[in-house]
Amino acid sequence: GESVGLHLPTLSVQEGDNSIINCAYSNSASDYFIWYKQESGKGPQFIIDIRSNMDKRQGQRVTVLLNKTVKHLSLQIAATQPGDSAVYFCAESSNYKLTFGKGTLLTVNP
Amino acid sequence: AAGVIQSPRHLIKEKRETATLKCYPIPRHDTVYWYQQGPGQDPQFLISFYEKMQSDKGSIPDRFSAQQFSDYHSELNMSSLELGDSALYFCASSLGLKEYEQYFGPGTRLTVT
């Protein structure tokens, strides 16, 4: 079936560095893509989203890039901080439901 | 700002018992979604309700049922619990069928022994 997946299960970076988390999706009919951050014991927290008719969207310290040609999504976090340590999920939206990809654990070393 | 409320936060049950999880959406939100997240897994969509009617169904076992009430809160009923049902159960809500604008609750951790 359709699925969303991540290339890297873990990512370790130094505080202050930029982080890039990648995601591949397979459903070309998806109209929204969302990145969530999930801290231990908590629910997913919305970070940023992007519509399928866009290729880039910027937020505060975060940027999402969408490449529909290769069905690839990435989340860039600038100046990564210890508080950014969490599991990050991409999700695609279609037919009124979200399909999550496998999470990437981001660890920020001080 | 008010968030999604789930209760209980933790629940321990034995095999073959039943469990009821409750979700109170953000005020004015009329759509509720339920997800199951196993250890180290991504959240899996179970079921959703919009204006008290089931709007979509995912990988929800037949042993589970859910409903949304007139005040928009929702309950997930789980019967004949199995060890494999141990997971985090998240509820999310949105205003209208905007699955891309879901706000998640803190989850209920269900442990089946």
What string of pLDDT tens digits covers the 113 residues of chain B?
A: 789 999 999 999 999 999 999 999 999 999 999 999 998 888 999 999 999 999 999 989 999 999 999 999 999 999 999 999 999 999 999 998 887 789 999 999 999 99
- Measured between alpha carbons, how far is B8 from B18 in angstroms, rounded to an integer? 14
Collect all residues of chain A within an 8 Å Cβ-Cβ radius of residue B58. 97
pLDDT at residue A2 greater than cutoff 50: no
- Measured between alpha carbons, how far is A106 from A6 in angstroms, rounded to an integer? 13
Please tell me the distance in Å from B99's CA to the nearest CA on chain A. Answer: 5
A46-59 b/e (C-beta count within 10 Å ≥ 16 → b): bbbbbebeeeeeee
- Measured between alpha carbons, how far is A66 from A39 in angstroms, rounded to an integer? 24
Average pLDDT, chain A: 89
- Measured between alpha carbons, how far is B89 from B11 in angstroms, rounded to an integer? 11
Mutation site for B-interface testing, chosen from A31, A98, A102 by largest number of B Cβ within 10 Å: A98
- What does the pLDDT read at residue B41? 87
Give per-residue pLDDT as tens, A71-96. 999 999 999 999 999 999 999 988 77
First to last CA, chain B: 36
pLDDT at residue A6 greater than cutoff 50: no
Q: Are A55 and A67 in contact (CB under 8 A)?
A: yes
Q: Are B85 and A26 in contact (CB under 8 A)?
A: no
Lowest mean pLDDT among A41-45, A65-69, A104-108, B60-64: A41-45
Q: Do A98 and B100 touch (CB under 8 A)?
A: yes
The pair phi, psi for residue B100, each rounded to 5°, is: -80, -5
Pull the structure tokens for residue B2: 């008010």
Q: Do A95 and B33 touch (CB under 8 A)?
A: no
User: Which residue(s) pair with A50 in the sheet?
Assistant: A33
Q: Do A42 and B100 touch (CB under 8 A)?
A: no
Q: Are B33 and A86 in contact (CB under 8 A)?
A: no
Nearest to B44 by CA among A17, A66, A29, A3: A3
Omega before A82 within 30 of 0, i.e. cis? no
A27 Cα distance to chain centroid: 16
Q: Taking every pair of C-alpha atoms in chain A, what is the biggest distance, in angstroms?
A: 42
Q: Indicate the SS3 state at residue A75.
A: strand
Average pLDDT of the residues in A9-27: 93
Nearest CB to A44; choose among B43, B56, B100 = B43
- What does the pLDDT read at residue A4? 54
- One-letter amino acid for residue B72 of the chain: Y
